[in-house]
Chain A
Amino acid sequence: AQSVTQLGSHVSVSEGALVLLRCNYSSSVPPYLFWYVQYPNQGLQLLLKYTTGATLVKGINGFEAEFKKSETSFHLTKPSAHMSDAAEYFCAVSKGAQKLVFGQGTRLTINP
């Protein structure tokens, strides 16, 4: 069975600092991997996805993630945090069945 573990339910960084949100997955075959962002009282918005090809994936709003098969990781980064990045972030995996399996989420807080 697929599963996703997000390390750290809360992450707090200063404005302008590096953002690093960690995600590890468990899958018997190479999966498809996604990062979604959720603002309060809203649905999920796709930030980026990895399917095949280049392991460094660039997404919207300056975010990127690197697929590391040897570490079964798909960590999300952004070089410089902005106040508008404060939200809940979800890592998700799918494998053939199309349904997404989500992690527990990481709440990102940006300190001025």
Chain B
Amino acid sequence: GAGVSQSPRYKVAKRGQDVALRCDPISGHVSLFWYQQALGQGPEFLTYFQNEAQLDKSGLPSDRFFAERPEGSVSTLKIQRTQQEDSAVYLCASSLTPQGNNQPQHFGDGTRLSIL
């Protein structure tokens, strides 16, 4: 497709379960970002990949959160032993090149995660 694709769009899990959220960036985009958006808040940065390298994971809230991008394209955000505070919309964004901030980030529609 032409845009950033995220799946599933909605995910409901019981507290304590593990979940995996998928992001397909725009083809050829080098940079990939994950953000967490709590209800009524602005998105907050989680982690950043340049190709397959995870260059910044300073926003991951705990060691229960893990992200990977093994082949430099599709990325997966995994949350282990989910807690109710993990309920949020998880947004993925990609941009064309890693150099400079002139390249805009293109966002997917997000995955809405609800932890019961």
Contact = CB atoms under 8 A, between A and B. Distances in A.
A99 B101 contact: no
B98 interface: yes
B102 A101 contact: no
Interface residues of B, number: 27
Interface residues of A, number: 26
A18 interface: no
A90 B42 contact: yes
B56 A99 contact: yes
Given A90-B42, A94-B101, A43 B48 contact: no
Interface of A: 4, 32, 34, 36, 41-46, 49, 51, 90, 92, 94-105
Interface of B: 4, 31, 33, 35, 40-45, 48, 56, 59, 91, 93, 95, 98, 101-102, 104-110, 112
17 contacts: A41-B112, A42-B109, A43-B4, A43-B107, A51-B101, A90-B43, A94-B101, A95-B101, A98-B95, A98-B101, A99-B48, A99-B56, A99-B59, A100-B33, A101-B45, A102-B43, A104-B41
